[in-house]
Amino acid sequence: MSGTAEKGGGNLLRSLDYSVLQQCMHCGMCLPACPTYVETLRERSSPRGRIAMMRAIADGDLETSRVFAEEMYFCLGCLACQTACPAGVDYATLIEQSRAQVEASGVLDRGQRRLVRTLLLRWVFTSRRRIKLLAKALYLFQRSGLRRVVRASGLLWLLPAKLRDLEPLTPEIQSTFTRRLYEQRYRSLNPTSPRFRVGVLSGCVQDIAFSHVNADTIAVLQVNGCEVILPEAQQCCGSLHAHNGDLASARDLARANIDAFSTEEGGVDAIIVNAGGCGSHLRHYDRLLADDVEYAGRAAAWSQKVRDICEFLVEIDFRPPPASPDADVLRVTYHESCHLKHGQGVSAQPRRILESIPGVELTELAEADWCCGSAGIYNITQPEMSMKLLDRKMGHIGDIRPQVVATGNPGCVIQIEHGLRLKGLSARVQHPVSLLAAAYERSRVEAAQRDFSPESLIVEGS
Partner 1 sequence: MDSAVLSQFRSIIGDDQVLDSAEDLSVYAYDGTATLRVAPACVLLPETVQQVAAIMTVAHSQRLPVITRGSGTGLAGGAVPVEGGIVLCLVRMDRIIEVDEANLAMVVEPGVITQRVADAAAAAGLFYPPDPGSIKISTIGGNVANNSGGLRGLKYGVTRDYVMALQVVLADGQILNTGTKCVKDVAGFTLKDLFIGSEGTLGVITSINLKLIPPPAAKQTMIAHFESMTDAARTVSEIIRHKIIPCTLEFLDRVTIGCVEEYVAIGLPLDVEALLLIEVDGHPAEVAEQAAEIERLAGEHGAREVRRAHSEEEATRLASARRTAFSALARLAPTVVLEDVTVPRSELARMVSHIAQVSERYGVKIGTFGHMGDGNLHPTFLTDERDAREMGRVEQAMREVFEFAVELGGTITGEHGVGLAKKPFLPAAIGPVAMDITRRLKADFDPEGILNPGKIFD
Shortest Cβ distance from residue 340 to partner 1 (Å)?
A: 21
Q: Closer CB to partner 1, residue 49 or residue 343? A: 49
* ∠ Cα 95 25 289 (to 5°): 35
DSSP class of residue 118 equals: I
The one segment of 16-24, 138-146, 188-196, 404-412 that binds partner 1 by CB under 8 A? 16-24
C-alpha dihedral (82, 87, 92, 97), degrees to nearest 10: -150
Shortest Cβ distance from residue 22 to partner 1 (Å)?
A: 4
**Residues near partner 1 (CB under 8 A), total:** 31
DSSP string, 132-174: HHHHHHHHHHHHSSHHHHHHHHTGGGGS-HHHHHHGGGSPPPP
* Residues 77-116 contacting partner 1, CB under 8 A: 86-88
Q: Closer CB to partner 1, residue 54 or residue 416? A: 54
d(CA 72, CA 76) in angstroms, rounded, equals: 9
Shortest Cβ distance from residue 283 to partner 1 (Å)?
A: 19
The one segment of 23-31, 158-166, 260-268, 401-409 that binds partner 1 by CB under 8 A? 23-31
The one segment of 21-29, 251-259, 407-415, 417-425 that binds partner 1 by CB under 8 A? 21-29
339: amino acid identity, one letter = H
Q: Which of 14, 15, 18, 395 binds partner 1 (CB under 8 A)?
A: 18
Q: Closer CB to partner 1, residue 29 or residue 301? A: 29
Shortest Cβ distance from residue 50 to partner 1 (Å)?
A: 8
Q: Closer CB to partner 1, residue 22 or residue 449? A: 22
The answer for residues whose C-beta is within 8 angstroms of residue 146's C-beta and 6 or more apart is 140
394, 427 contact by CB (below 8 A): no
Q: Closer CB to partner 1, residue 21 or residue 228? A: 21
Shortest Cβ distance from residue 329 to partner 1 (Å)?
A: 27
CA 322 to chain centre: 30
Shortest Cβ distance from residue 75 to partner 1 (Å)?
A: 13
Shortest Cβ distance from residue 43 to partner 1 (Å)?
A: 4
Q: Closer CB to partner 1, residue 52 or residue 156? A: 52
String of contacts with partner 1 for each residue 36-75, x by CB under 8 A: -----xxxx-x-xx--xx--x----xxx-x-xx--x----
C-alpha dihedral (273, 217, 220, 307), degrees to nearest 10: 0
d(CA 15, CA 100) in angstroms, rounded, equals: 12
407, 431 contact by CB (below 8 A): yes
Q: Closer CB to partner 1, residue 326 or residue 399? A: 399
SS3 of 28, please?
coil
Characterize the bridge pairing of strands 226-229 and 196-200: parallel
* Residues 222-241 contacting partner 1, CB under 8 A: none
Q: Closer CB to partner 1, residue 56 or residue 138? A: 56
Shortest Cβ distance from residue 344 to partner 1 (Å)?
A: 18
Shortest Cβ distance from residue 214 to partner 1 (Å)?
A: 35
DSSP E strand boundaries for 25-128: none
64, 4 contact by CB (below 8 A): yes
The answer for residues whose C-beta is within 8 angstroms of residue 116's C-beta and 6 or more apart is none
DSSP E strand boundaries for 365-426: 404-406
Q: Closer CB to partner 1, residue 38 or residue 425? A: 38
23 binds partner 1, rule: CB under 8 A: yes
d(CA 252, CA 388) in angstroms, rounded, equals: 35
Helix (H) or strand (E) holding 338, with range, is helix 338-341
* Residues in contact with partner 1 by the rule CB under 8 A: 18-19, 22-23, 25-29, 31-32, 41-44, 46, 48-49, 52-53, 56, 61-63, 65, 67-68, 71, 86-88
